[in-house]
Amino acid sequence: MATLKNDTLLKALRREPTPYTPVWLMRQAGRYLPEYNATRARAGSFLALAKTPSLATEVTLQPLARFPLDAAILFSDILTVPDAMGLGLQFAAGEGPRFLRTTADEAAIAALAVPDMAKLAYVFDAVSEIKTALAGSVPLLGFAGSPFTLACYMIEGGGSSDFATVRKMACARPDLLQRIVDVNAEAVAAYLNEQIARGADAVMIFDTWGGMLSTPAYRRFSLAPMRSILAALKPAPDGAPVPTIVFTKGGGQWLDEVAASGASAVGLDWTVDIARARAAVGARVALQGNLDPIVLLTDPDTVDREATAIVRAAGPAPGHIFNLGHGIVPATPPENVAALVAAVHRESAAIRATP
């Protein structure tokens, strides 16, 4: 495996000094880029794009050709794992994901099983192909949805404004929800381990919906399964430990518990004060975040000012990975992304140079 030319992301995840703050963006390969839309049109559908390694590789590399980002992230979807469980993932035009079969009654939940990882070969093949294409330029991040977030879509059969069925199950039938997240945790651990075996340099767990739970329910149904995944991850093929990132959107009030999960880094959404977060966790973990993605809908000057404020709030200590507080939105003008990356690199180099 080639030595990385730019290893700032991995160093920051290990809280080692870097000359500037590395930056990548959630959904950096996506609909705000005309070249992404062109590839997607050629693929015919989002799922065809995600399931064709050569096309997934193509779109993964697109933002790196435009912007001096410090990491690539595998182009895929968090719902590939329940899809491999046989739930029938669909994306209708202009709508979110739907499963043909929901996992909401006792029979369906009893029948759930960790899928054969061979069904996810297209993901692992994409990891290999992207890794080769990157040729050691920047690290490659693998990822998966959190067991609880996957459970949300599995139980409701798709997205929801309030996930009421999930929240009801958490209190009325905690045994059923427990079984779903247990199966998911085992599946996600196997899934991330195979991404690592194929060359992912670091992995991230996306917990999009854990923030809607009560604190005891968050601990049991979201944080605990993520901890068990982190504990089950294997080292890289060269024997080195693989850095990990856990991101619970809306989880700012549980920062101390997420920081003790065993992850190398905690993702912060944009509502969290990153200076306060750093003061709270000290040098225990790296922090990733946390610009409001809506800032990228404004103009380059505003983007520069807001990004600068976050770099300064995060401070010069090692262990900050700049990112958004949630995924980039499709209406984002690419020139604002350029302004963002430039501001982060410039400002973070400047504060490190200041004695």
Work out how close the CB of 47 gets to a second copy at its nearest, in angstroms, rounded to a whole number. Answer: 24
> Is the separation of the CB atoms in 188 and 229 below 8 Å?
yes
Active site residue 31: yes
Work out how close the CB of 313 gets to a second copy at its nearest, in angstroms, rounded to a whole number. Answer: 9
Work out how close the CB of 301 gets to a second copy at its nearest, in angstroms, rounded to a whole number. Answer: 9
For β-strands 244-248 and 286-291, DSSP reports them as unpaired
Work out how close the CB of 257 gets to a second copy at its nearest, in angstroms, rounded to a whole number. Answer: 10
The DSSP 8-state label assigned to residue 206 in this structure reads E
Q: Choose, from 7, 20, 70, 77, the residue flagged as catalytic.
A: 77
Site residues (CB under 8 A) for a second copy?
162, 164, 167-168, 171-172, 211-216, 218, 250, 252-253, 255, 270-273, 276, 292, 294-295, 297-299, 302, 305-306, 309, 329
Active site residue 15: no
d(CA 330, CA 247): 21
Of 131, 44, 127, the closest CA to residue 80 belongs to 127
Q: Choose, from 15, 40, 167, 198, the residue flagged as catalytic.
A: 40
Work out how close the CB of 101 gets to a second copy at its nearest, in angstroms, rounded to a whole number. Answer: 23
Burial 199-234 (b: 16+ CB within 10 A, else e): bbbbbbbbbbbbbbbeeebbebbbbbbbbbbbeebe
Give Cα separations from 4 to 82, 163, 343 (angstroms): 33, 42, 24
Provide the H-helix boundaries in the chain.
8-13, 34-43, 46-51, 53-66, 80-82, 106-111, 121-134, 147-156, 164-172, 174-197, 215-218, 224-232, 255-259, 274-281, 300-314, 334-353
**Residue 246 is inside which H or E element, if any?**
strand 244-248
Q: Of the two residues 222 and 348, which places its CB atom closer to a second copy in the complex?
A: 222
d(CA 8, CA 35): 27
Q: Of the two residues 312 and 352, which places its CB atom closer to a second copy in the complex?
A: 312
Q: Choose, from 31, 173, 312, 346, the residue flagged as catalytic.
A: 31
Q: Of the two residues 117 and 275, which places its CB atom closer to a second copy in the complex?
A: 275
Work out how close the CB of 293 gets to a second copy at its nearest, in angstroms, rounded to a whole number. Answer: 9
Q: Choose, from 15, 27, 98, 167, the residue flagged as catalytic.
A: 27
Q: How many CB atoms lie within 10 A of CB 301?
A: 10
Residues in the chain: 355
Q: Of the two residues 293 and 319, which places its CB atom closer to a second copy in the complex?
A: 293
For β-strands 89-91 and 320-324, DSSP reports them as unpaired
Q: Of the two residues 50 and 339, which places its CB atom closer to a second copy in the complex?
A: 339
Active site residue 125: no
Work out how close the CB of 221 gets to a second copy at its nearest, in angstroms, rounded to a whole number. Answer: 13
Active site residue 98: no
For residue 265, what are the β-bridge partners?
245, 286
Q: Choose, from 153, 191, 218, 227, the residue flagged as catalytic.
A: 153
Of 166, 142, 167, the closest CA to residue 156 belongs to 166
Q: Of the two residues 136 and 159, which places its CB atom closer to a second copy in the complex?
A: 159
Active site residue 256: no
Q: Of the two residues 8 and 336, which places its CB atom closer to a second copy in the complex?
A: 336
Q: How many CB atoms lie within 10 A of CB 351?
A: 15
The DSSP 8-state label assigned to residue 220 in this structure reads I
Catalytically active residues, by annotation: 27, 31, 40, 77, 153
